[in-house]
Amino acid sequence: MCPAPTNPPPAPQALRQAALHWLTEPDPTAKVAGVQRTWETLAAHATAIHLDTTATLTAPEQRPLPGRPARPQLVPPGAVPTRSPFTPDGHAALAHALAHIEFNAINLALDAVWRFAGMPAAYYHDWWRVAAEEAHHFELLRTHLRGLPHPSGGQWDYGDFEAHDGLWTMCERTASDIVARMALVPRTLEARGLDATPLIQARLRRVGTPHALALCAILDVILRDEVGHVAVGNRWYGWLCQQRGLDPLAHYRQLVRQHRAPQPKPPLNTAARQQAGFSAAELAYLQQPL
């Protein structure tokens, strides 16, 4: 059972309002606990939470959006130092980078809940489940990071390495368009993790230390769940396109150009992408030369 959150939202709890509350929570421990407790309540007693699908919500001025700790220091993507996982510090940097992705992914899922009104109840249920699973991933990686040897004899933690803000930048670009959000965050940026994870795992297996193999096992859990998260994005992107009379592939191409979204780098994890709901036509498009 998760510990009680230190800053609980007011009761009675409305689902989208709760998402906004925990999105703006800066403390990672409190955010993870709050998200997981809300999901446990929703999963076990859905009627205990009001599904405020049509409410117009406004982010509080006194709590920055998204809520995150003062560290890690955020730098441009190209300025994040690269380190080899074959060294102890490099392994810690890799674990930290992965934890940062998962922390951002919690915020992305919460933002998808609070920001967009008028969707079916299943949409909000899907994204709360994603938020809870991302919170679990962050916990796994943070615990792993804290257990790694530190050169000073102390303890590594989230915030000890520089990181970038690429995921949240795309979240901001698509804040006014739910179709673009579904197209370009879960099924574009997060889908890149389906391709990258097996490559990272292969390097960790070559390292072969107990710490490397433990991180590889954590990535097994994350990859399994991320297939489902990308599938959620695919499902709701397809649903929205059908509702609005849009051709999914043609509109996706337009959104990629409009929002300057990065294309995936080969090789694609075709099996995982197919499992997540990508069509043959979409996979063919994604594998075209840039």
Look at the alpha carbons of 280, 178, 107, 232 in this order and tell me if their dihedral is positive or negative. Answer: negative
**Mean pLDDT across the chain, nearest whole number?**
91
Q: Which residues contact 117 (CB under 8 A, 6 or more apart)?
A: 16, 53, 54, 55, 56, 57
Q: What is the pLDDT of residues 129-186, one digit of tens each?
A: 999 999 999 999 999 999 999 988 889 999 999 999 888 999 999 999 999 999 999 9
Give counts: helices (H), strands (E), the chain.
11, 0
Q: What is the pLDDT of residue 64?
A: 86
Q: What is the pLDDT of residues 184-240, one digit of tens each?
A: 999 999 999 999 999 999 999 999 999 999 999 999 999 999 999 999 999 999 999
- How far is residue 91's CA from residue 85's CA, in Å, rounded to a whole number? 4
- How far is residue 229's CA from residue 274's CA, in Å, rounded to a whole number? 13
Tell me the two tokens of residue 201.
Answer: 């795992």
For tokens 């939202």, what's the residue? 9
Confidence band of 32 (pLDDT split at 50, 70, 90): very high
Q: What is the pLDDT of residues 71-83, one digit of tens each?
A: 999 998 888 888 8
- How far is residue 77's CA from residue 23's CA, in Å, rounded to a whole number? 23
* Amino acid residing at 200: I
Query: pTM of this prediction?
Result: 0.93
Report whether 178 contacts 116 (CB < 8 A): yes
- How far is residue 91's CA from residue 89's CA, in Å, rounded to a whole number? 5
Domains of the chain: 87-286 (1.20.1260)
